[in-house]
Structure formats: C-alpha cells, structure tokens
Amino acid sequence: MLTGDELTDRERQVLEAVVRSYVDTAEPAGSRTVSRRFDLGVSPATVRNTMSDLEEKGYLQHPHTSAGRVPTDLAYRFFVDRLMAPLTLSQEQRETIAREMEVTGSALERLVRHTTRALSLISNELGIALAPRLGETVLERLELIQVSSNKVLLVATIRGGVVRTVYVDLPVEVPRATLLALTVALNERLAGLSLAEIRRTMPERLRDAHGSEPGASELLNIFVQSGAELFNLNDLEDPRIHLGSTSVLAAQPEFESGERLKGLIELTERRDLLASAVGSREHRGQLQITIGGENDSLALSDFTLVTAEYRVGGLKGVIGVIGPTRMPYEKVVAIVDYTSTLLTRILET
C-alpha cells in the first residue's frame, strides 16, 4: 500500500491543490485551473505532467467526460494524514452549535437528536449519532406517583439522564402512605444497581420488602411484574441511531442524478447498517475518519464517516457526520471535535 512517502514536494503541492479545488467546486481540476488558482510557481504544462504522475500512482483519476482530474480515496487519505491544517471554529459557529443543542430537561435522547441537527446545519453533511448502550448503566432512583385512585406511574431515572415510565392499573386503592413506604424500600434495595443486575435479581431482592402497610404486598407484586417492561434490556440495548436532516446531503452535487439520490435515501433507511458502522468504530479518545473504500460496508464506499466519542457517566456514545468523500475535511473535523467536547461537557455538568 502506498504511504505518500514516495511523493515529491511538487507532487504534494499539486495534489493538495487538486483536492482543495475539487472540494470547493465539485468540478474536475484541470492543469490551467490549478496553475491559475494556486501559486505553485510552475507552468500549466508542469502541473499537467505532475498530475499525470499522480494519476499513475493512484492519487488522481480522470473522468471520461472531462479533461480534468479528481482525487481518489488515496488522495483524500493523504490529505487528511499529511496536509490537513488544524482549523478553529469562529465564535459565531460555536454559538450556533450551542444554540442548536439547547434543550429543556435532561433527556439524553432529546439532546442527542438536537446534536445531530446541529451537526447537519453547520457542516452541511448528514449528522449521525449513536446513543450509549444502557444495559450496564445504573438506576439512580425510583418513584411511585399516584395518578388516580387506581392508577400508579412507575418512574425510573437512569444514570445519564434517561427516564423510563410505566403506567400500572391497581386492583384496589392503595393509601398514599403505602406508596411512600414502598418507594423508600424499592430505592434502598435497587438504587445504585445496574439494570442488568436488577433484571436478574429483582424478585429475590424484593421478596420481603412490602412491610406491614395496607396494600403493600399487592403493589409490590404488581411492581415485580411490571419491572420486566420498566427494565426492558432488549429495548435499552438496541443501538439508537439518530440522523440529522438528509436534505443538506441531497442538495450536494454528488446526488443530482436520480440514481445516486435514490441510493442516498436507501442508505439512510438502513439504520441497522449505520448503527453497526458507527458502533463498531474504535476511537480511543481520538476522531476517526474512514474514507470511501476504507469503510467495511460496500454501501458506504462513496462516503466518508467522521466520528468522535462523547461520554455520559461511565458510558460512551458516538456522534459525527457522513457525507461524500468530497468533503471539506478541515472544517468537518473541527465541527465534530468541538461538538463532541461540548456534548460531553453538557452531559457531565
């Protein structure tokens, strides 16, 4: 595999010029355009010869309908690894991201959805996010709220801002004092445990928790039965993929043809594939960028994924963007990096 070490200084300059030109214009770059737009200090003929050398080495390709050349996945990889310059977002861009992420309450899912919308808006790519897996997260507290004389709302607050609720119909009216006493008992025995542990040991832990309050035994039995729904790990372990607005991506030149637009729409409908692609990435505290054919799935071979982790408690989620390989990498990397840091800060305060 080529590493880029075999490129001369001139080839690197011309390659960077072609990448930047194509990213900006979506038009194949010709030698005259590159020579006129970028001050390379050489003639168009020299640029043309250098572009031919880069094509032979696999960094550029020559569309049949154009005299110009476009970057290959290898060219974008070289640009990202060797040529990309750090970019600092403007104050206006940072404020826009923060404003789009403003939500009332502390629901994690809602905040993640707002974050994907912010990423789409600022980057003009498709925002994408994966909520954390919650099976090993911890129950913070339980509440039993009397809605009417024969209906109780079970509310479980899970570390990370997730709240789950279940309505329960009661066969008999339960005194308020009983609800309060049972709430205390439930929290003493279940709060601080992981959801998986609660599911596994709940009947044993609650066997003698009802005390002597009127109706407590009946209510406890109902709670144990409803707990299967309240702590449904199949639901909680389902990777929740969130997507921003597809329209920003559909407006890009790559999707002007009906066939490619159809392919984009079909991709966004394959949430299992996207969840697998995003969830399997190893970040180790760094952004991950996979370009075109570097992606494991053939369905993503025309796309670039830029992702970062965010943290909530001891859990990790993933946010980022997906877009064509013709992507303003410096801008997108800065946006994803800043947004993941901001999301973590919001969740941990």
CA distance 96 to 141: 35
Are residue 47 and residue 115 in the same domain, yes or no? no
Exposed/middle/buried for residue 204 (C-beta within 10 Å: 0-12, 13-18, 19+): exposed
Query: What is the pLDDT, as a whole number, of residue 230?
Result: 65
pTM: 0.76
pLDDT at 314: 67
C-alpha distances in Å from residue 338, one per residue of 130, 147, 150, 279, 285? 17, 43, 49, 20, 13
Q: Could you give the CA distance from residue 190 to residue 209 in angstroms, rounded to a whole number?
A: 11
Question: Pairing between strand 151-158 and 139-148?
Answer: antiparallel
CA dist 204 to 187, 198, 224, 233, Å? Answer: 15, 10, 10, 19
Q: Are residues 154 and 32 in the same domain?
A: no
Instruction: Express each pLDDT in 142-195 by its tens digit.
Output: 888 888 777 888 888 877 666 777 777 777 777 888 888 888 888 998 998 887
Instruction: State whether 30 and 61 are in the same domain.
Output: yes
- Whether 256 and 214 share a structural domain: no
Q: Do 128 and 13 reside in the same domain of the chain?
A: no
pLDDT of residue 136: 63
Which region among 272-276, 288-292, 337-341 has the lowest average model confidence (pLDDT)? 272-276
Q: Which domain holds residue 172?
A: 139-236
In 74-136, which ranges are E strands?
126-130
Tokens representing residue 247 in the block = 């329209």
Return the structure tokens found at 5: 């070490």
Return the closest-CA partner of residue 345 out of 98, 87, 88, 95: 98
Confidence of residue 228 (pLDDT cuts 50, 70, 90): low
Q: Domain total for the chain?
A: 3
> Of 41, 58, 83, which residue sits at a domain end?
83
